[in-house]
Every structure is written in structure tokens, then in C-alpha cells.
Amino acid sequence: VPAVYSLDGLLVFGLLLVCTCAYLRKVPRLRTWLLSERRGIWGVCHKAAVIGTRLHVAVAVSCLLMAIYVLVGK
């Protein structure tokens, strides 16, 4: 069974999406090019970037806990 179909795989994917989009939002040229659209797939990236920048402490703690779970728990 691929890891995408498990709950922890979906959580890792979501965290990586939020972290990547938040990072891309910090780059000025990419922000205007990729994250200016608010509909479709780029809209999902825009919303993930907003979540990542507004909840940066919670996202960082979640990434740390997920890394510990993947490395030790699995």
C-alpha cells in the first residue's frame, strides 16, 4: 500500500505542501508569479501559503512531531 493512502502519508504531504508554499511566498518573484492567483490549483497553494505564514509556530511544531514519528515511530 503506497504511503499516500495512509493517514500519516496524507499528513506528511499536507505539511510539506504548507511549508513549501509558505517558503515560496517569501520569494518576491515567485510570489507574484505563482501565488497571485486565488482560484484553481494555484489558489490551493495560495491558501496553504497563508496558513503557513500565519500559523508558522504550529506548523513548525507539527513538522517536528511528524519527523520524530516517521523516524522513530514507524
What are the domain boundaries of the chain? Answer: 4-73
Predicted TM-score of the model (pTM): 0.79
Contact present, 59 and 52 (Cβ < 8 Å):
yes
Phi-psi region of 40 (alpha: psi -120 to 50; beta: other; left: phi over 0): left
- Look at residue 60 in the predicted model and tell me its pLDDT: 93
Which pLDDT score is estimated for 18? 95
pLDDT at 2: 62
- Our measurement of the distance from residue 24's CA atom to the centroid of its chain's CA atoms, rounded to an integer in Å, reads 11
Q: What's the average pLDDT block by block, 10 residues per block, for the chain (74 residues)?
A: 72 92 86 76 87 93 92 85
